[in-house]
Chain A
């Protein structure tokens, strides 16, 4: 095994590890967004069931502040929109990262094959 090849394998492995780390942070943030989406959808559904005269409060710090129902509904819907956008964006990045990771592993595998072939010869 030549020094050059060994160095290259090392750096490629490091790169793969970095990719894997980035990937897991992406997945974690997707999970977080997912649960936020769930919660906001539930709240939005609940708002739909309420009649217009219902008294809605928002927790600001330790106090409950009365809020207009229409305003609260609009607020939650806007949040839903934002979260869905964000989820789509992250989903795309996850797909891209997965592809990059796969390419890297193939590269590393090839490199290992090369090294083994040489050490056997």
Chain B
């Protein structure tokens, strides 16, 4: 996703001092957090698109000329009549709307869902990668900490 962390890094983690490892750990945590939020946004978007296709499916020919309530605000409704059940108007972003026949609208939402699905998959893969490196990092840190403790213990016993 971000271009900043794409630079090639071949530094051996074991060579780094603990404070720096801590920094990397925090950075990794932050990245994983961000990616996880993005992932849940993707899932939400997908649910919205699915809801839209469901609504289109609900517009059967039986609905022709049926009375409906049109919301003017969230609490004020006026009665109306469904006169056109063949086409719908879709928000395609940045303030633009397009009128499409129902079948085309469903295709549109399906392609959107596929698009979001592909992105979500990519994010999931990245998160898994990050988690793997995170576990590796934790191991190295653990190792370093035990080593350091041993060193101080030896020092203490030597100075006795």
| A interface residues (Cβ-Cβ under 8 A, vs B) | 39-40, 42-43, 46, 50, 54-60, 64, 67, 72, 76, 79
Establish whether residues B97 and A64, one from each chain, have CB atoms under 8 Å apart when the complex forms. Answer: yes
Establish whether residues A46 and B89, one from each chain, have CB atoms under 8 Å apart when the complex forms. Answer: no
- Write the nearest CB–CB distance from B99 to chain A, whole angstroms: 4
The closest CB in chain A to the CB of B95 belongs to A59
A72 to B108, CA, bound (A): 19
A64 to B99, CA, bound (A): 11
B17 within 8 A of A: no
Establish whether residues A56 and B96, one from each chain, have CB atoms under 8 Å apart when the complex forms. Answer: yes
Choose one: A40, A42, A58; the contact of B97 (CB below 8 Å).
Answer: A58
Query: When A57-B89, A64-B89 are in contact, do A39 and B97 touch as well, CB less than 8 Å?
Result: no
Establish whether residues B96 and A42, one from each chain, have CB atoms under 8 Å apart when the complex forms. Answer: no
Choose one: A42, A60, A67; the contact of B92 (CB below 8 Å).
Answer: A42
| B interface residues (Cβ-Cβ under 8 A, vs A) | 89, 91-100, 108
- Write the nearest CB–CB distance from A104 to chain B, whole angstroms: 18
A-B residue pairs in contact (CB < 8 Å), sample of 21 = A40-B93, A40-B94, A42-B92, A43-B93, A43-B94, A46-B92, A46-B93, A46-B98, A54-B98, A54-B99, A57-B89, A57-B96, A57-B98, A58-B95, A59-B91, A59-B97, A64-B89, A64-B97, A67-B96, A72-B96, A76-B96
Establish whether residues A43 and B92, one from each chain, have CB atoms under 8 Å apart when the complex forms. Answer: yes
- Write the nearest CB–CB distance from A23 to chain B, whole angstroms: 11
The closest CB in chain B to the CB of A40 belongs to B94
Q: Residues of A contacting B92 with CB < 8 Å?
A: 42-43, 46
- Write the nearest CB–CB distance from A61 to chain B, whole angstroms: 10
A9 to B108, CA, bound (A): 59
Excluding A54-B99, A56-B98, A57-B89, 5 further A-B contacts by CB distance (< 8 Å) are A39-B94, A40-B93, A43-B93, A56-B97, A58-B97
Q: Residues of A contacting B99 with CB < 8 Å?
A: 54-57
